[in-house]
Amino acid sequence: MCGIFGVITNQDIPIGKIALEGIKRLEYRGYDSVGIVSQHDGKLFIKKDAGKIDEVHKKLKLDDFPGKIAIAHTRWATHGAPTKINSHPHTNCSNNITVVHNGIIENFMTLKEELIQRGHNFKSDTDTEIIPHLIEEKMKEGLDFKDSIIEALKILKGSYGLAILSLYVPDTIIAVRKESPIIIGIEPGVATYCASDFPAFLPLTKTYYILEDCEMAILKAGEVEFFDMNTSEIIEKKSQQIEWSINAAEKGGYKHFMLKEIYEQPEALKRTLKISNEDIKIFAQIILSANDIYITGAGTSLFASLAGKFIISKFLGKYIQAIECSELKGQLTNFLRDNSVIIAVSQSGETIDTIEAIRWAKKAQNLKILSITNAVGSSITRYSDHFIITQAGPEIGVAATKTYSCQVLTLALIALEIAKLRKIEPESEIQNYYKALKSTPQIIENFLSNNINLIRKIVKDLEKHSSYFFLARGISIGTAKEGGLKLKEVACRFIEGYSAASAKHGPIALVRKGYPIVFIAPPDETYVRLIGNLMEFKSRGGKIISIVVESDKKIRVHSDMTIDIPQPADIYHSIFSPITFIPALQLLAYYTAIFHGLDPDKPLNLSKTVTVH
Ligand code: GLU
């Protein structure tokens, strides 16, 4: 997920400064490289490099550009490592078309090969670079610049928000979008802006237009025209006014990044569902042919691993052991065998305990390391035989939310690929599981739009309790532990995720009248036994809050309160409940923090990337 910003003005103002400040306000969207191009006197001026905006600015003076028109980009790499050459803007062979891009071009490999055969020279490993070359190719066919863009984009599969600056139309920025956001800001008669998000131009203007999918905006200083990309016809749009303050807008209107990221889960999951099947297949094949399989991680990634281990084992027919990364060496010294596989899960790809574990394992035996991370170019990818990048996008809130659900989803995709390869289930059954997995973004979206008041009410009810339990069985134990972790992290409450069966061997001693216990109760094979556990706590006066599916009848009647997850009560959906049930627990943590006056984005003593032992 990158940030795009473009500015065109008729005023004599430092264009570099405007571009730099605009792109800086989008840094939350990506921060591995940055680039700006301006146009002046028939020439293009480009500066770009890998690194955070401030670092690159120190080196390249990003506020110093000639002209009255510029486009800028802050990158969160999806294709090609974060290097200078892969930084945007990208150009065509004649270096007179520049493009900044947010999104993924899925068919870029085939298109690139075709363009190379036609004599095009590519400099980067990105998917983006094919766009200026394709436009160039269309220009060669005799089309004008605007039609060349339209025709070039018809060939692309995938998602894009683009800003294009070219010497063919020196007083114009062209912006287009398909599935990646672009908005247009305007100071009528003076300046026009395009951006991935409002914060980029909020201090400059509050008047904006939303660009919809398959629309093009042609920006001149203080003017903008919109076109339908399918019919080339002009579209009349009404401008709107932004009502946020700059502070709110930086979080996209949300009070905290944590809340924003909880709400971004449906989109993040949709993107992760599109991960290349080739990568998933490689993971599946290696896991299938391994002797011993281990899955490892720390914190949230370990709890995602616990869920993943259940889902994969079900279809693999072999046991997978989940081991905390810091314990891996201790537990496996003398037991690690050749032809084993370690699946390492890390949001940042920099967690030192995970990296140490896999480096040790690789040295100890001839085995394969498969890693799942959200960060392109991170250390873990260098130490892995194969890696998959989840598509959660930048996560700024220190407490992991959307990266967790994307990790579990990725592991679920691997599990279903294993099921396909093993052919142990009829194809129609596997399709039912795929359908259920693909419905997880919608289930979460429906849940998030209907349950905030209920969650707040529960938070208020639990206000006096600084300790309680999330209890669960089977696959949901990971969910319970992740929920407990979130409460500890952001709300400073000692809430423990625990096995419901084990809870009677100790923790039940804490229960008095009104002591809260939250049961995580999807209708899977553990359901009946879980009711038994629930009754043990209820009969001792516990206050029972249950998280169930909407059609649940049994647990509901024994509970003081229920949180309903809007999903069908079948086995296909239940196995993916670690994805669909977790937003309820994330929201409980978030609103508990708010209730107690804590800042959920800045938990005490925590850092997002743990690079110390
Ligand atoms: N796919 C482009 C790249 O890797 C854009 C990335 C993005 O939008 O996150 O450079």
pLDDT digits (tens, 9 = 90+) for 550-608: 999 999 999 999 999 999 999 999 999 999 999 999 999 999 999 999 989 877 766 55
* Atom of ligand 1 minimally distant from the CA of 161: 8
pLDDT at 606: 61
Please state the rounded mean pLDDT for residues 207-216: 92
* Atom of ligand 1 minimally distant from the CA of 86: 10
CA 122 to centroid of chain Cα atoms: 29
Please state the rounded mean pLDDT for residues 300-322: 96
pLDDT at 538: 95
Ligand 1 binding pocket mutation candidate from 90, 102, 264 (most atoms within 8 A of CB): 102
Handedness of CA 344, 349, 355, 361 (dihedral sign): positive
Give the neighbor-by-neighbor strand order of the sheet with 90-91: 90-91, 97-102, 160-166, 173-178, 215-220, 223-228, 234-235
Task: pLDDT band for 611, please (50, 70, 90 cuts).
Answer: very low
CA of 102 to the centre of ligand 1 (A): 5
Indicate the pairing of strand 223-228 with strand 234-235: antiparallel
pLDDT at 25: 85
Percent of the chain, pLDDT > 90?
82
The ligand 1 site (C-beta within 6 Å) comprises 1-2, 30, 75-80, 101-104, 126-128
Percent of the chain, pLDDT > 70?
97
* Atom of ligand 1 minimally distant from the CA of 76: 9
Lowest mean pLDDT among 151-165, 250-264, 311-325: 250-264
pLDDT digits (tens, 9 = 90+) for 102-127: 988 999 999 999 999 999 999 999 99
Catalytic sites, residue numbers: 2, 608
Q: Which long-range contacts (CB under 8 A, 24 or more apart) does 604-608 make?
A: 604/492, 606/398, 606/399, 606/489, 607/398, 608/347, 608/348, 608/395, 608/398
CA of 334 to the centre of ligand 1 (A): 43
pLDDT at 570: 96
Lowest mean pLDDT among 75-89, 139-153, 203-217, 366-380: 366-380
* Atom of ligand 1 minimally distant from the CA of 105: 1
pLDDT at 348: 85
Q: What's the CATH code, domain 450-594?
A: 3.40.50.10490
The whole-chain average pLDDT of the chain stands at: 93
pLDDT at 612 over 80: no
Structure tokens at 370: 């498969």
CA of 30 to the centre of ligand 1 (A): 9
Do domains 252-438 and 450-594 share one topology? The answer is yes
Q: Which CATH class is domain 252-438?
A: alpha beta
CA of 177 to the centre of ligand 1 (A): 14
Task: pLDDT band for 181, please (50, 70, 90 cuts).
Answer: confident
Residue whose CA is at the smallest distance from ligand 1 atom 9: 1
CA of 36 to the centre of ligand 1 (A): 15
Give the neighbor-by-neighbor strand order of the sheet with 3-9: 43-50, 33-40, 69-75, 3-9, 191-195, 183-187, 207-210, 240-241
* Atom of ligand 1 minimally distant from the CA of 180: 8
pLDDT at 175: 98
Residue whose CA is at the smallest distance from ligand 1 atom 8: 102
CA of 91 to the centre of ligand 1 (A): 15
Of the two residues 554 and 376, the one the predictor is more confident about is: 554
pLDDT at 205 over 50: yes
Indicate the pairing of strand 191-195 with strand 183-187: antiparallel
pLDDT digits (tens, 9 = 90+) for 501-539: 999 899 888 999 999 999 999 999 999 999 999 999 999
pLDDT at 484 over 70: yes
Question: Residue ranges of the domains in the chain?
Answer: 3-249, 252-438, 450-594
Ligand 1 binding pocket mutation candidate from 98, 108, 128, 264 (most atoms within 8 A of CB): 128
Of the two residues 242 and 193, the one the predictor is more confident about is: 193
Q: What's the CATH code, domain 3-249?
A: 3.60.20.10
Judge if pTM exceeds 0.85. Answer: no
Task: pLDDT band for 249, please (50, 70, 90 cuts).
Answer: low
